[in-house]
A and B are shown apart, each in its own frame.
Chain A
């Protein structure tokens, strides 16, 4: 009887250690953000004189008012939405079609093509970037939305994911329809596509977040302020604190830039979480 008792006691102690660790990690997660919010609510002059002033009043919304009044951050958010949204939609369409094609249909050269597409997974964006930039220069694609969206369409990840997902769907589901000689697109659209919603969500969220956070390509392609995405725009103001409107303003701008996606995340987190988890299923 005594053995279980000690193990429960040990368990309680262990739980407490784990809890302490998790709490510590959460503090590390949240403290920098709180610090940024704190700084954004202070006058620049006061901050420079004494950083500890973050911990007491007076607080001010001046930095936010200035951000709303003058910063291009809205335009950048809009650009990011257009680019990320456009890329996500296009990726979902292309990947679903190709995934279905590779998983369910046969055509000459299918296997070798699929291997080549898989090989595309190993090609980092940066390896083709120099050449891509030259090509886009010749086509005058820089500083346009399609110039920002197109490169993302060549990524194989979505096709890989969708192919795997389509393969995992039992063949019995569409074989009957195929034998009935129903149109392949109709089968894809009516029978299989509705089943792939979880995978679509996963892919969509990965693509959207990837595009939202992309920095390298927009950095060299979007070189006009009006075409900056949020990442490039934020970077353009941050490197030299002294050359900008002060730390408080920058922090307000950061909060402004970070807030929309965080709010979206909080609203849709259930779906996002299931979607991200969905990637692990297969």
Chain B
């Protein structure tokens, strides 16, 4: 912060003295050099594969042989495949389970831990710590929680003579089991984002509210929440995009079962392209995922833009 100030002070006077003689913001080819390295990788590793994938999706392609053109066959098959439709629903269901929960628990924790005490600091560290673990460790931990016999859950239930719910095999619980593990893993980021948003709120507003004898609920509703509205939306966007790409947890905890009830789109792609060798259909499914995320991103963009205008 101090550095920033000093630079600002030294730089500021210069502005007043000089008058722009030439338009320094005129388009110039040599400026392109700065973006070229990134654009090179962006084009070769994202844009090109994107089109290659589209090309693949209209071909009958096998992992080991070049394909022939089949038009929209792969897409037709895709939409007749109950498993694919199931996986689309599963993905939405998972997003629905995790994103609101992550946002609300994250906000709750941020509100509770936004203080300067040592305990709060320790707890903040604790709640963020799981986020640095890799997905394979998280799933290992949670499988150990869920598995019968040696599992933490079954041990705890055992003390009360009860049988623990079968979180990775019961059809109605499996996705919830994955969602719980995911929330445990991902809760740190929303909490941190909310915390930093809370710290941006000027203290004097709260002081004024305190003078007005506003109670906590009133303060929360009329000051805190409106001030972090943008962050709330940011958290939702980040989480939707992240959770839409569910793969590791489902693959490692349930393999997509029971009967594909926890198979998300990404796992369907993996299954089709790399396990069933049906590259064309896998590519077609990839395109569908792309379209879905694009729609979500557009919707989010429109929503945030409108909110921005109002503010």
Question: What residues of chain A have their CB less than 8 Å away from a CB belonging to chain B?
Answer: 4, 7, 11, 14, 18-19, 21-22, 25-26, 28-33, 35-36, 39, 47-48, 51-52, 54, 80, 93-95, 97-98, 100-102, 105-108, 110, 113, 116-117, 120-135, 150-151, 153-156, 159, 170, 172-176, 178-179, 184, 188, 191, 194-195, 209, 212-213, 215-216, 220, 230-232, 234-235, 238-239, 247, 250-251, 254, 257-258, 261-262, 264-266, 269, 272-273, 276-281
Contact B247 A101 (CB under 8 A): no
Which residue of B27, B42, B216 is within 8 Å of A14 (Cβ)? B216
Instruction: Give A4 to B215 CA distance when docked, in angstroms.
Output: 10
A173 touches B8 (CB 8 A): yes
In Å, the complex CA distance between A250 and B7 comes to 53
B219-277 interface with A by 8 A CB criterion: 231, 234, 241, 244-245, 247-248, 252, 265-266, 269-270, 273-274
Q: Return the chain B residue nearest A273 by Cβ.
A: B192
Mask, B1-42, CB within 8 Å of A = 1, is: 001100110011011001011001111111111110111011
Q: List 27 interface pairs A-B (beta carbons < 8 Å), by A numbering.
A: A18-B112, A21-B112, A26-B127, A101-B32, A106-B28, A106-B31, A108-B27, A117-B39, A127-B293, A128-B53, A131-B48, A131-B53, A132-B49, A135-B52, A154-B46, A155-B46, A172-B8, A173-B11, A176-B15, A179-B20, A213-B135, A261-B134, A264-B132, A265-B128, A276-B192, A279-B193, A280-B197
Name the residue on B nearest A122 (C-beta). B297
Interchain nearest-CB distance for A149 vs B (Å): 10
Complex: A172 Cα to B231 Cα, angstroms: 28
Q: Closest CB of chain B to A277's CB: distance in Å?
A: 3
B176 adjacent to chain A (CB < 8 Å) = no
Contact at B196–A281, with CB atoms within 8 Å? yes
Main secondary structure of the interface of B (DSSP, over half): helix
A179 to B176, CA, bound (A): 60
A-contact 0/1 string along B140-163, CB 8 Å cutoff? 111111000111101100100000
The answer, yes or no, to whether B290 is at the interface (CB within 8 Å) is: yes
- Across the interface, A127 reaches (CB within 8 A) one of B50, B158, B189, namely B50
Tell me, in angstroms, the Cα distance from A159 to B124 when the chains sit together: 29
Name the one of A11, A100, A106, A262 contacting B129, with C-beta atoms under 8 angstroms. A262
Residues of A within 8 A of B187 (CB): 29
A21 to B113, CA, bound (A): 12
CB distance from A22 to the nearest CB of B (A): 5
Contacts of A25 in B (CB 8 A): 105, 109, 127
Which B residues lie at the A interface, using CB under 8 A? 3-4, 7-8, 11-12, 14-15, 18, 20-21, 24-35, 37-39, 41-42, 44-50, 52-53, 56, 105, 108-109, 112-113, 123-137, 139-145, 149-152, 154-155, 158, 184, 187-189, 192-193, 195-197, 199-200, 213, 215-216, 231, 234, 241, 244-245, 247-248, 252, 265-266, 269-270, 273-274, 279, 282-283, 286-287, 289-290, 293-294, 297-298
- Which applies to chain A's interface (DSSP): helix, strand, loop or mixed? helix
Chain B residue with the shortest CB-CB distance to A55: B155
Per the bound structure, the CA–CA distance linking A179 and B143 in Å amounts to 62
Contact assessment for B123 and A22 in the assembled complex, using a CB-CB cutoff below 8 Å? yes
In contact, B140 and A254 (Cβ under 8 angstroms): yes
